[in-house]
Structure 1
């Protein structure tokens, strides 16, 4: 595989997406984060930086830094720094032990070697810091319906079948991704349904999580240095 060619194709694919793809405030991720105060955050795949700005508005973050492959943030002056680059290919221009938390929200599934990217970021996390990761759940019933009923793995502009996804995970795969990195410890993994208000979330509660692996669209992981 021509790595540089793949990177260029990925950048072009992201630029074709609607701006809304990059500008959502991830309230579900914020809900999952163990709220501290005046912390330093780095977000990989920060888009417009909306989630980081919300963390700062809430007083959870004091210093916010973003990193993304596309340049769609029009408010870079509000950040400590905001880097445009490819996290797999480029050097990381931050001081070691800089961040209390590093957010990887729906990023790793877009990468060629996600575990190497996590390892690359570990030195920039403080001793007591955490990764907050979200990944799409390919065990979701929609995948079964499209593949086994409709007979198609048709890609879409976003969601589980996002055309820019190149890695796919079930819950066990997500756990194993962290377990293969000795420097890290998985503290918890939770369905996104626990951080949303929806019919599916209500159904999940009244069925005591029995169908959770099949109706969850994502899982959230909190990971610390081991």
Structure 2
């Protein structure tokens, strides 16, 4: 679950999130789905309900991976970088990479490797925290701190930061053709977004959603 300000606390609900607004917007048919960072498996269960023919998950946290096994066809426990060998012979029509890239040492290498697992015409759906969120400017300029926390926009496990243009460029450098950039539904900032004709959104949304397709070649 997210708000305009970013993801909710990293508690049990963090791993149980089903991301309905993202699943609803995925291109159909979903075909075989790879869910990187699948948590407890609820997103995978949602894409299965939406017509996915097979759902494979990768999850770093063993306890959550074990929970996901009751919902998905297969779950690999461990970092995504270590899972590529096990997945080398599989191809996926839809790849989910939700709230994952910001935790990785080399997110573009992971995006390139995911492209190798993508079937012709496959789509990848990405979500990342918005590095331009106004709360960061407030903390830096007023409070004099970057403001790492145990969860949320500046989770202390985040290693990488992306603006809207950064994540688009990273996906395209990795061989994906970006088709759509969006964000969580606006709530408190909806009127400001209208008044500024969308210009304020760069600073008020907590996340960017990027849908891309496997490029030819």
1:189 alignment partner in structure 2: 181
Distance 1:38 1:101 in 2: 6
SS at match of 2:67: coil
1:161 alignment partner in structure 2: 154
Aligned length: 204
Deviation at 1:199, TM superposition (A): 2.3
Task: Say whether the 8 Å CA contact 1:41–1:64 is kept in structure 2.
Answer: yes
The TM-score normalised by the length of structure 2 is 0.86
1:200 alignment partner in structure 2: 189
| 1:121 and 2:114 aligned | yes
Distance 1:74 1:179 in 2: 34
Deviations along 1:110-153, one digit per CA (max 9) or x if unpaired, are 00000001111112111010110011101010111111111111
Query: Where does structure 1 differ by over 4 angstroms across 4 or more consecutive aligned residues?
Result: none
Distance 2:114 2:87 in 1: 10
Higher relative CO (Cα under 8 Å, sequence separation at least 6) belongs to 2
Gaps of 5+ in 2: 1-9
Distance 1:205 1:32 in 2: 22
1:135 alignment partner in structure 2: 128
Distance 1:154 1:38 in 2: 38
1:111 alignment partner in structure 2: 104
CA RMSD of aligned residues (A): 1.9
Task: Say whether the 8 Å CA contact 1:44–1:107 is kept in structure 2.
Answer: yes
Equivalent residue for 1:50, pick from 42, 57, 65: 42
Distance 1:62 1:174 in 2: 29
The TM-score normalised by the length of structure 1 is 0.83
Decide whether aligned partners of structure 1 residues 128 and 90 sit closer, same or farther in structure 2, where only a CA change above 3 A counts.
closer
SS at match of 1:61: coil
2:173 alignment partner in structure 1: 180
Gaps of 5+ in 1: 1-16
Deviation at 1:179, TM superposition (A): 2.7
Task: Say whether the 8 Å CA contact 2:131–2:163 is kept in structure 1.
Answer: yes
Decide whether aligned partners of structure 1 residues 124 and 94 sit closer, same or farther in structure 2, where only a CA change above 3 A counts.
same
